Amino acid sequence: MRLYQMQDSGNCYKVRLAAHQLGQPLELVDVDILKGESRTEDFLKRNPNGRVPTLELDDGRSLPESNAILFWLAEGTALLPEDRFARAEALQWMFFEQYSHEPYIAVARFWHSIKPGGREEKAAMFPEWHRRGHEALAVMERHLSSHDWFAGGAYSIADIALYAYTHVAHEGDFDLAPYKAVNSWLARVASEPLHVPMNWRS
């Protein structure tokens, strides 16, 4: 399988990490979104929404959206709960991640640390991103104060989805020190077998 991706993107890291833990080799194809490479007509055939990650299967079919890719990779494995309700809870946290977490924590990181000149260009946006991002972190802290993992009582793709941008939240100028339960969970995720860091390439 081939992953159209950007190494610095947490959404792409989710897929690299899950695939490695599942023993699924991926060929990485770097797409520079800063140069518009995800908006070419050729790329839009793979993903009409013009975003990475996009997974290309060996038969040529394409699948975009990081959390849909995680679900596809993990179905039938230990990374997705077998119990139907726990599976829905994993999705609950993955939709939370894309709606209430990523648009603030990942976006703040992009403009603070990835996009050249972004701190100055988006200076007026950071207070709102930080306010909403800390709301998301507080929701995670509340859950993790009484649970080791996000769904099904075990490490799953819900943890991978939320780990990707939480563990680099400081690159968006978030201070994670007050979130004790989140920090313990970050350490648990990082000590899972076959864990690899964001800069790792298959």
Residues that bind a copy of itself (CB under 8 A): 44, 48-49, 57, 61, 63-69, 71-72, 75, 84-85, 87-89, 91-92, 94-96, 98-100, 102-103, 139, 142-143
| In the complex, least distance from residue 199 CB atom to a copy of itself, rounded to whole angstroms | 25
By C-beta, is 125 or 195 nearer to a copy of itself? 125
Residue 14 near residue 153, CB atoms below 8 Å: no
By C-beta, is 21 or 67 nearer to a copy of itself? 67
By C-beta, is 35 or 61 nearer to a copy of itself? 61
By C-beta, is 107 or 168 nearer to a copy of itself? 107
Buried b (16+ CB within 10 A) or exposed e, 51-71: bbbbbbeeeeeebbbbbebbb
By C-beta, is 75 or 192 nearer to a copy of itself? 75
| In the complex, least distance from residue 91 CB atom to a copy of itself, rounded to whole angstroms | 4
* Among candidate residues 3, 163, 156, 174, the one with its CA nearest the CA of residue 80: 156
| In the complex, least distance from residue 163 CB atom to a copy of itself, rounded to whole angstroms | 17
How far is the C-alpha of 14 from the C-alpha of 19, rounded, in Å? 9
| In the complex, least distance from residue 76 CB atom to a copy of itself, rounded to whole angstroms | 8
Angle at 97 (CA atoms; ends 86, 197), nearest 5 degrees: 95
Cα pseudo-dihedral 174, 175, 177, 183, rounded to 10: 20
Give me the helix-helix angle, 157-166 and 102-109, nearest 10°: 40
How far is the C-alpha of 11 from the C-alpha of 149, rounded, in Å? 20
By C-beta, is 74 or 168 nearer to a copy of itself? 74
In the numeric block, which tokens belong to residue 130? 């930080």
